[in-house]
Amino acid sequence: MNLTTNYMSLSLSNPIIASAGPATSSLDNIRRLEDCGAGAIVLPSMFEEQIRREQEHIDSLLENSSDTYGEALTYFPPLDTHDITTESYLALIEEAVAAVDIPVIASLNGVSDDGWINYAREIESAGASALELNIYLVPSNLAHEPREVEQHYVDIVRAVRSCVAIPLAVKVGPYFSAPGHMATAIADAGADALVLFNRFYQPDIDLSTLTVSSEIELSSPAEIRLALLWVGILSGRIDAYVAASTGVDSADEVVKYLLAGADVVMTTSALLRHGIEHMRTLCQDLEHWLDARDLISVDDIRGRMRHEAAEHADAADRGDYIRILQGYGT
């Protein structure tokens, strides 16, 4: 059975990737994921504001009590705390690259222009196989023009592309007026792959404490439809690889995404829900599915149902959509 997959010129043993999240945050887990057959891993996102917050926290611990009493100006020996969190993230990249043979993809969530560029450079220097930009913009400012928001995405990709040579993936959300056009613009700006989709922060309210809950719900197979649609629309039509990344729980979702045209399929929720060993199950079940149909390569199914997956998307096919809705009621 040939599951080998090319993703942004990285050679993967199979198309299933452990995406950014707690499951890839430790060296032990990364080793176990490799043992369980993961095609690649994406490290947890390095958040620029998290780095700044951590730095500020450390600075406050070091400095808050300084100059409080006449007898002590400080309470710690001189510490080089510059970018202390960056160092630990970069160390994780270096250790992961040394520890496993599968590609190690770093993930960056920046805020400032300098942040995107500088951290991207450091990540490349640390030896990451590729970089995934986790662009997380919630345009809550009502005065922002859609064009401004879209241009910001493009500018980030272009800026990072200009300063690193490693493959570059961009993870985006679905909320654009014209996601296809946006995907094309991102690819044109230099992205080698698009990861569909980012799941943005969506608050809930705890009625017993009247506080806002920010816990992220794990994604479920019911959520794959939106990504399935856009994988179907975009794959083969933009100059970039397409990674599917929402709602994977079993090999069924992996197969569906591949049929729709995804080059690779990513999951975090399934690993958090069922444990790291679930990666082995996903890989084996994908193989069984292919084997049961006498298929010998994952390429035999990739994109096979691309058009079917996207067929109700166009306005011209609204008739089918109406038929489906009517069928639901009867």
Partner 1 sequence: MPGASPVEPDVKAVNLAPKADLVEAERDNIAFFESLPVNDRSRVNFADVRGVQFLEPMFEFSGACAGCGETPYLKLLSQLFGDRLMIANATGCSSIYGGNLPVTPWTKNAEGRGPAWSNSLFEDNAEFGLGFRLAADKHLELALSLLQALALELGEERVNAILQAPQLLESELRAQRIRVGELKTRLLDLAGAGKTARHLLFVVDHLVRRSIWIVGGDGWAYDIGYGGLDHVLASGRNVNVLVLDTEVYSNTGGQASKATPLGAIAKFAAAGKRVPRKDLALQAIAYGNVYVAQVAMGANPQQTLEAFREAEAYEGPSLILAYSHCIAHGFDLRDGMDQQARAVKSGYWPLLRYDPVMRTVGQAPFRLDSPRPSIPFKDYAYRELRYRSLSLSRPAEAEELLREAQRLIEDKYRTYEDFATMETGPTSAEATTAGREP
Residue 174, both tokens: 């679905």
Q: Which residues pair with 41 in a beta bridge?
A: 18, 104
| Near partner 1 in 280-309, by CB under 8 A | none
Told to check if 201 binds partner 1 by CB under 8 A, we report: no
Near partner 1 by CB under 8 A: residue from 9, 68, 112, 213: 68
- What is d(CA 17, CA 300) in angstroms, rounded to the nearest whole number? 19
Residue 68 or residue 151: which is nearer to partner 1 going by CB? 68
Told to check if 78 binds partner 1 by CB under 8 A, we report: yes
Residue 141 or residue 214: which is nearer to partner 1 going by CB? 214
Near partner 1 by CB under 8 A: residue from 64, 112, 151, 297: 64
Near partner 1 by CB under 8 A: residue from 4, 52, 84, 305: 84
Q: Which residues pair with 267 in a beta bridge?
A: 18
In the complex, minimum distance from the CB of residue 87 to partner 1, in angstroms, rounded to a whole number: 6
Near partner 1 by CB under 8 A: residue from 140, 202, 208, 330: 208
Q: How far apart are the first and last CA of the chain?
A: 44
Told to check if 88 binds partner 1 by CB under 8 A, we report: yes
Residue 11 or residue 88: which is nearer to partner 1 going by CB? 88
Near partner 1 by CB under 8 A: residue from 27, 50, 87, 174: 87
In the complex, minimum distance from the CB of residue 76 to partner 1, in angstroms, rounded to a whole number: 6
In the complex, minimum distance from the CB of residue 82 to partner 1, in angstroms, rounded to a whole number: 10
- What is d(CA 79, CA 4) in angstroms, rounded to the nearest whole number? 47
For residues 298 and 13, is the Cβ–Cβ distance under 8 A?
A: no
The CB-based long-range contact list for 144-152 (8 Å cut-off, 24+ gap) reads: 146/177, 150/176, 150/182, 150/185
Backbone angles phi, psi at 211, to 5 degrees: -125, 160
Told to check if 80 binds partner 1 by CB under 8 A, we report: yes
Question: Which range touches partner 1 (CB under 8 A), out of 23-31, 79-87, 179-187, 217-225?
Answer: 79-87
- What percent of the residues of the chain are helix, what percent strand, and what percent coil, each to the nearest 5? 45, 15, 35
- What is d(CA 44, CA 70) in angstroms, rounded to the nearest whole number? 44
- What is d(CA 56, CA 82) in angstroms, rounded to the nearest whole number? 10
- Helix or strand or coil: residue 36? coil
Told to check if 216 binds partner 1 by CB under 8 A, we report: no
Number of residues that bind partner 1 (CB under 8 A): 26
Near partner 1 by CB under 8 A: residue from 140, 141, 202, 209: 209
The DSSP secondary-structure symbol of 35 reads H
For residues 153 and 172, is the Cβ–Cβ distance under 8 A?
A: yes
**Considering all CA atoms of the chain, what is the largest pairwise distance in Å, rounded to the nearest integer?**
83
Told to check if 324 binds partner 1 by CB under 8 A, we report: no
Told to check if 154 binds partner 1 by CB under 8 A, we report: no
For residues 139 and 164, is the Cβ–Cβ distance under 8 A?
A: no
Interface characters, 21-60, with partner 1 (x: CB under 8 A)? -------------------------------------x--
Q: Under the rule (CB under 8 A), what is the footprint of partner 1?
A: 58, 61-62, 64-65, 68-69, 71-81, 84, 87-88, 91, 208-211
